[in-house]
Amino acid sequence: MPGMDLGEFLQDLLCEAVLELNDQGPDTDVPRQCTQRDCTSPLAYSRCLDCHAAEFICDNCMLQSHAHIPLHQIQRYHNGRFSTVGLKNIGMRIALTHLPCDPCPIPVPENHFIIVDTDRAHNVAIDFCGCGKGGTRAEQLVAARLYPCSYERPRAAISFRMAITASGRRSRSSSRASSD
């Protein structure tokens, strides 16, 4: 670091870290082993873009570790390059349940459902409760902290987080407009 100020040093350090992250794809001839504890899968081609750690893990471990955070985006390494995909691409399904940790015995699949969150619109697969205990589809979505975009047969929803963020922006802009 001699002759370099702190800002230049940190910028160089950040650039090196980003380059290292982008260059850590497994060799296509030699798959990496999953880094999750007790997993022996040699097929660790995925990493989460939204989680703190950026290590490669196998699809099964990715699904288990994201069971309660299904809106994260992942990168998959294939044929020498990364592509960004949703968890749906590796088999994630969001199960709307009538009780916590109580899956419905008669799930009704919806394979093309859109959830708008603060960072992007997510194409997800949802299993609605079909036994009647979960209420209407709209009620099931609200119980999962999602605002349905229609009541009868919702095919899209807005996350509570997005609704709160949008209402905060709206209230700030309306308070600025009223003060002018």
Reduce the DSSP state of residue 41 to 3 states and report it: coil
Class of residue 56 by CB neighbours under 10 A (exposed 0-12, middle 13-18, buried 19+): buried
Overall pTM > 0.95: no
Q: Letter for the amino acid at 52?
A: H
| Mean pLDDT, each 10-residue run in order, the chain (180 residues) | 69 67 49 79 86 85 92 86 89 84 89 95 95 92 95 95 85 58
* CA–CA dist 86, 81 (Å, integer): 16
* CA–CA dist 122, 158 (Å, integer): 10
Reduce the DSSP state of residue 80 to 3 states and report it: coil
* CA–CA dist 124, 79 (Å, integer): 25
How is the beta sheet containing 146-148 ordered, strand by strand?
94-95, 121-129, 107-116, 156-159, 146-148
Residue 114 tokens read as: 């859109």
Model pLDDT, residue 19? 58
Rg (CA), the chain: 21
Model pLDDT, residue 1? 52
